[in-house]
Amino acid sequence: MSSRVASKTSAISTPHPVASPALLIPALLLFVSGAAALVYQVLWIKQLSLVVGVEVYAITTGISAFFAGLALGGWLFGRWADRLSQPVLLYAGLEVLVAVLGVGATFAMSLAASPFAWLEQQVGLLAWVLPFALVGIPALLMGGTLPVLVRSLAADPQQLGKAGGQLYAANTAGAIAGTLLAAFVLIATLGVRGSAVAAAILNLLAAVGALWFQRQRSVPLQAPAKHPSSTAPDRLALWLYSIAGGVALGYEVVWSQSIVQFMSTRTYAFAVVLATYLTGLFL
Q: What's the CATH architecture for 22-217+271-282?
A: Up-down Bundle (1.20)
CB 147 within 8 A of CB 78: yes
pTM for the structure as a whole: 0.81
Of 68-77, 101-110, 151-160, where does mean pLDDT reach its minimum?
A: 151-160
Q: Is the pLDDT of residue 79 over 70?
A: yes
CB 42 within 8 A of CB 106: no
Give the span between the Cα atoms of 110 and 150, in whole angstroms.
Answer: 35
Span 128-139, mean pLDDT?
A: 95
Single out the residue of 31, 166, 192, 30 nearest to residue 103, CA to CA: 192
3-class SS string, 6-58? HHHHHHHHCCCCCCHHHHHHHHHHHHHHHHHHHHHHHHHHHHHHHHHCCHHHH
**Gyration radius (Cα) of the chain, Å:** 21
CB 87 within 8 A of CB 154: no
19, 111, 121, 127, 250 from 59: Cα distances, Å: 40, 18, 22, 16, 11
pLDDT in tens, 198-254: 999 999 999 999 999 888 875 544 545 555 555 667 777 777 777 877 776 676 667
**Domain limits, the chain:** 22-217+271-282
Span 78-94, mean pLDDT?
A: 89
Q: Is the pLDDT of residue 133 over 60?
A: yes
The 10 Å CB-count burial string (b at 16+, else e) for 132-150 is bebbbbbbbbbbbbbbbbb
